[in-house]
Structure 1
Amino acid sequence: MAFIQRLVIHFRELQKNPPPLCYAEPENPSKSMIHWVGWIQGPEDTPYAGGKFRLTIDFPADFPYRAPEVRFVTPVYHPNISVTGEICLDILHSQWSPALTIR
């Protein structure tokens, strides 16, 4: 359950210092800290401007040694996002490190 404590720490850090144009939080923190929802606001001057894109973030029991599974719920047309919403970035797969944070 140490990973739950780490998720709580990550969540508090996100609340104090949220990244621009996005937000993430546990979907139901009183019930479970391992399933989060997030949103990314489409940046200005891009094809995504004005869009709000919903994500799900699921943390494995061996987090932080294994990356969370992050998927777009809102359909997004992007070369690094599969038709099922999976984000195809090395940092979420082969380049993941326990030293990384959710931010």
Structure 2
Amino acid sequence: MTKPAAGSVAGMLTMTKPSAGSLASRSTWVSTTSVSSSGKRIQREMVELNLDPPPGCCAGPKGDNLYNWVATIIGPPGTPYQGGIYFLDITFPCDYPFKPPKVVFKTRIYHCNVDSAGNVSLEILKDSWSPALTITKVLQALQSIFTKPDPYNPLVPGIAHLYLQDEAKHAELAAEWTLRFAK
């Protein structure tokens, strides 16, 4: 039986004592060239997002980890969140797009659909998720909660109650939080 060549894939799998230098170069080669189907999908969506981002949104990987992103959403005009800069962490599961990404607001926001830990109540990130959805659609849905909160599926019932009972007071408090935490 012949020994596999040191640089071949078979050689990488069967060699028992590679040198430290060859191991480092091979592990780099493996990690940068073997991208899973979820990774390929995320890369494709990243290209599409960069070519045509939703207005007021941007997102991309943190460092070199394709599965951990940071996003920003600018508070839309005509809302109490106007001009605020909201940072979000987006974590893609290994089985993306069959499971939704996890989105967490890192910027504090006075909103009935975002709790104090930054968790978001958004149907497309739960029961309405479909593999046909993309990160661009997720960003658009996140943007929509700035203009159309869902007080009937709140994470913060007190804020939802205020929104339903006294929308002007709710807007005043949301604008105060925008100035305090998002500018």
- Scaled to the shorter chain, the TM-score interval is over 0.9
Identity of aligned residues (%): 43
Work out which of the residue numbers 70, 87, 91 in structure 1 matches 2:120: 87
| Greater gyration radius | 2
**TM-score of the aligned structures, taking structure 1 as reference length:** 0.95
Alignment of 1:58-97 (within 5 A): 58-97=91-130
Paired residue secondary structure (1:24): strand
Paired residue secondary structure (1:9): helix
**Number of aligned pairs?**
101
Paired residue secondary structure (1:66): coil
Alignment of 1:38-53 (within 5 A): 38-53=71-86
Give 1:44 shift. 1.1
Alignment of 1:29-44 (within 5 A): 31-44=64-77
Which is richer in helix?
A: 2
Identify the residue that residue 5 of structure 1 maps to in structure 2. Answer: 40
Poorly superposed stretches of 4+, deviation over 3 Å: none
Cα distance per residue 1:66-95 (max 9 Å; x no partner):
000001000011111111111101110111
Which is richer in strand?
A: 1
Gaps of 5+ in 2: 1-35, 137-183
Q: Report the aligned-residue RMSD.
A: 0.7
Q: Which amino acid aligns with 1:4?
A: G
Gaps of 5+ in 1: none
**TM-score of the aligned structures, taking structure 2 as reference length:** 0.54
